Amino acid sequence: MKGQLKVSSSAEYIAKLKEPRKSDIAALDKLIRKAAPELEPFIQVGMLAYGHMKYKYPNGREMDWFRIGVASNASYISLYVSAGDGKGYLAERFKKTLPKAEIGKCCVRFKRLSDLDEAVLAKLIRKGVAAPAKM
């Protein structure tokens, strides 16, 4: 995955970024911590991560992962929401309410945080915490 940095804390991750990305990631970190204070922040595969979880693949293999993740890529920011249910992936349901983002199964990609409605992002994060884990 892109957006990986060799760091050991969220503060160190943010400190390594250049503006304006640094301010956007710092604001997104603050938004996630406010929307989901129960999620412990940590670094997973060089990305900002919040809320440890075990994911079990259909073949039975297990993996340590995160509920919410953030990566600063070359041309965009990625917000990962590892959640879904019988209706599919949660992030995909926010396509209409986050029109300036490119949305995949678990990933919301955008250029600037100011392009998105932060209240909608907070809602997605809160729902992501409450929904079953899914990758």
- Whole-structure pTM over 0.85, yes or no? yes
Report the distance separating Cα 59 and Cα 78, nearest Å.
Answer: 27
pLDDT, tens digit, for every residue of 54-93?
A: 888 789 899 899 999 999 999 999 999 999 888 899 999 9
Where are the chain's structural domains? Answer: 10-129
Task: Among 3.40.50.300, 3.90.1150.200, 3.30.70.1710, 1.10.1060.10, name the CATH number for the domain at 10-129.
Answer: 3.90.1150.200
Q: Are 5 and 16 in contact (CB under 8 A)?
A: yes
Report the distance separating Cα 55 and Cα 30, nearest Å.
Answer: 26
